[in-house]
Structure 1
Amino acid sequence: MAVQTIQPQTAFLHSSSPKASSSVRRFRFELVNSSSFRKCLKLRCRSSSNNGEEDYLLDAPVQVGDGFSFSGGKYSEEPSPSDEWFKQGRTVKAHSILGAREKAKDPIFGLTMGAGSQATGDFFRWFCVESGNADNPSVILIHGFPSQAYSYRKVLPILAKDYHATAFDWLGFGFSDKPQPGYGFDYTLDEYVSSLESLVNELAAGKVSLVVQGYFSPVVVKYASLHLEKLNNLILINPPLTAKHVKLPSTLSAFSNFLLGEIFSQDPLRASDKPLTSCGPYKMKEKDAMVYRRPYLTSGSSGFALNAISRAMKKGLKTYVEDMQKILRDKNWKVQTTICWGQRDRWLSYDGVEDFCKDSNHTLIEVPRAGHHVQEDCGEELGQIICGILRKRNLI
């Protein structure tokens, strides 16, 4: 396999001399002002049901907060960047809600949780932002742990010209539903696989290309292995690939600690700012920070979901990474797979990544200036990389 070296922002334009065929291909490369403090503040988000619209509580006065957030449910009475992002999206209902439908209670005091922690209806609501013509090939952008669809805000416009791109919030993140663990969704990795199946079927009738970043990569690869007929391409961004990657970094594993995990996950700065800025060179702007903090400030449901996901990851990540290794190394694996790697990742070591790609015969694209969250550090560049990959696969 030829080795090609491509400088950043000029992907797929220049190549170096070929080397041995056993080498890996490597490229371098919401709210409105309220007239009454006591009224609930709401925005409408376009929905695929209920006559095209459905209420989603973005912010609320202290009186209606669920009591498990440092702000007591109160975020701000002023407009926020979250408002504009939320207005771009729509809610999609997917994955059946199971269970006895009892009122969710917190695991510490047994008190009934607020509306944000309750599972309502028959299907979960997923927040999605779409860009591009729906008649074009479909690309679904999947954020990592922990993050939001907002992380792909710079990638979506790049893909919109030739593709129909969709970024969504996983259950438990952003503006998607966040039921209290044990009351409809337990946030296990197996549940995420089955819920992804439901969502992809709802978003795209035909074949799709999936782009996934970080610790949710093993979940997506597992899904892909069960639905090969659905996949055109698979692009993994800084996934946990090697035996060194099976342990969560302390920043994330802290949320799984007994009792302290519940406390840490209710701290918006620890839950949103620190995970995004401690794993690479990303310097978060305040306007972006306010979007990421928003769910943790509005309700405690985001924190309890983060706590449950961290425990599930800590318990099942090793098995899922090992399964992913087997799947991607299988000679019968037919899905075109590309590994995109931000080389300034402080959580996942680059050691062994190149060897893995050589052994499994998958393309490796290196992004020298990016960390773990490549879409944050080099969003436009990543968008061009994804376009280059898909064009090379003759999807347009």
Structure 2
Amino acid sequence: MVEVRHRYTSVLGHRVFYREAGPADAPAVVLLHGYPTSSRMFRHLIPALADRFHVVAPDHLGFGRSAAPPADEFAYSFDALAEVTEELLAQLRLERYALYVQDYGAPIGWRLALRHPHAVTAIVSQNGNAYDEGFVPDFWAPVWAYAQSPDPSTEAALREALSEEAIRRQYLHGVAEPELVDPDTWAADHREISRPGLDRVQLDLFRDYATNPPLYPRLHEYFRTTQVPLLAVWGAEDEIFGPDGARAFTKDLEDAQVRLVPGGGHFLLESHLDTVADAMRAFLDEALRRDAPGRAPA
């Protein structure tokens, strides 16, 4: 049995929760979750990786078991969430690591890569967008409208995304075998983001998402310059980030591996865990075979 540690630490004055497993001297893999979930989305993936990797999966501020300071006390943005993650990894002395990014985890991970390009040994993008081609227009139109003009009418459309039915749809849309998806996933996510004050937190992050596409040209230059090993393993039926977003990585990364999973949606781990885990293990074994251990000496 793989032992998964559930830990808390203080990062920049905030309590941060993270899951950790695997040998401390093994190559490090950092798992970054998306909206509206937490590191709980990796509860099955972590044991599948931890026999040969040192796995760390934090909850972002405002999600899961990490602190959720009120929006009028903490300026929620992807820059801020990346700063907290950056400091956590520094505390854990992870100087080199592979990244797994999904949904919100992608803009956080991209900021880490741009700030520390030599730290990132490989990237696995599971429906983690990095190109304009990935945005499904019908889904994103209300987000762009709210970012451009935040008022009661544009806000109302995004408040719908906080409902349990909207979260349930994120988990089930396009999934060929929806009975594989545990209903506790969307119920727990809805319960957590429905805590008092978290609506404002999520609305602030919806609005801040508009800061991510302007970052893409720098990110693409990073890809071209470093040729970082990248695997895009993507739920092909995702209505949020479409499969063109996965294919686009090949524009800047000559050896990018793109695997589109039919019958898989936005939360691919819930229905195709073995597919993702097997692809990751093979990819990371190859990408990291000459890389140094992920944790610096004491």
- TM-score tier, shorter chain, comes to 0.7 to 0.9
Structure with bigger helix share is: 2
Q: Indicate whether 1:208 and 2:97 are aligned.
A: yes
Equivalent in the alignment of 1:338: 231
- What do residues 232-282 of structure 1 show as CA deviations (whole Å, max 9, x unaligned)? 212112222332335682597398763464792795515643433347557
- Radius of gyration: which is bigger? 1
Q: Indicate whether 1:301 and 2:197 are aligned.
A: yes
Q: Indicate whether 1:177 and 2:54 are aligned.
A: no
Equivalent in the alignment of 1:277: 172
Change (3 A) 1:204 1:383: farther
Pairwise CA distance, 1:148: 1.4
Q: Indicate whether 1:389 and 2:270 are aligned.
A: no
Taking structure 2 as the reference length, what is the TM-score of the superposition? 0.80
User: Bigger relative contact order, structure 1 or 2, given CA contacts below 8 A and separation 6+?
Assistant: 2
What stretches of structure 2 of length at least 5 have no aligned partner?
294-298
Q: Indicate whether 1:149 and 2:42 are aligned.
A: no
Taking structure 1 as the reference length, what is the TM-score of the superposition? 0.62
Equivalent in the alignment of 1:347: 240
Equivalent in the alignment of 2:132: 243
Q: Quick one: which amino acid aligns to residue 290 of structure 1?
A: A
Q: Indicate whether 1:318 and 2:235 are aligned.
A: no
Q: Quick one: which amino acid aligns to residue 292 of structure 1?
A: D
Equivalent in the alignment of 1:115: none
- What do residues 101-160 of structure 1 show as CA deviations (whole Å, max 9, x unaligned)? xxxxxxxxxxxxxxxxxxxxxx11111112222232221111123321111112111011
Q: Distance in 1 between matches of 2:218 and 2:117?
A: 16
Equivalent in the alignment of 1:90: 7
Q: Indicate whether 1:166 and 2:56 are aligned.
A: yes
In percent, how many aligned pairs have the same letter?
21
Q: Indicate whether 1:130 and 2:20 are aligned.
A: yes
Pairwise CA distance, 1:163: 1.3
Q: Indicate the RMSD between aligned Cα atoms, in angstroms.
A: 3.0
How many residues were matched structurally? 278
Q: Indicate whether 1:192 and 2:81 are aligned.
A: yes
SS in structure 2 at match of 1:391: helix
Aligned counterpart for 2:265 among listed residues 354, 360, 371: 371
Equivalent in the alignment of 1:217: 106
